Amino acid sequence: MVKGAVMSVDRSQRVGDLILREISNLLLRKVKDPRIKETTITEVHMTKDLRIAYVYYSLFGQDVNKKSAQDGFESAKGFIRKEIGEKIQLRYVPDIHFKYDNSLEYGQEMDNLLDKIIRN
């Protein structure tokens, strides 16, 4: 692998980690939208050029649904992007795309299947 390619992957991962931390803090302290109050940011993937951030979230709580959470994130996207631009020094503030992370549901489903197999 080329040395420059390794450095860009490391940089995109570091920037993604910074963005994850900042968005998590914003959700705890500044964002008041009840549609996204019960969400957790699980992961951030950055494109190599750091122009797009794919932010993955999961839901906690029974009364929160995926559609309203996605609408809440879309509504707060401008505010979150502005706050990230103020906190993190980047040439360009990345465009943010919020995506639902179903890995927790998948893991729970696998646990249930394994429990069912063990019981039989």
Break the chain into its structural domains and give their ranges.
3-119
76, 35 Cβ separation under 8 angstroms? no
Nearest CA to 81 out of 59, 57, 97, 58 is that of 97
pLDDT recorded at residue 10: 87
pLDDT recorded at residue 90: 87
User: Any residues with CB less than 8 A from the CB of 38 and at least 6 apart, and which?
Assistant: 59, 60, 61, 63, 64, 69
Q: How confident is the model at residue 38 (pLDDT cuts 50, 70, 90)?
A: confident
- What is the rounded average pLDDT of the residues 8-18? 86
- What is the rounded average pLDDT of the residues 60-64? 63
Distance CA 46, CA 92 (A): 13
- What CATH number belongs to 3-119? 3.30.300.20
pLDDT recorded at residue 7: 54
Q: How confident is the model at residue 5 (pLDDT cuts 50, 70, 90)?
A: low
Distance CA 68, CA 35 (A): 6
Predicted confidence (pLDDT) at residue 1 exceeds the cutoff of 70: no
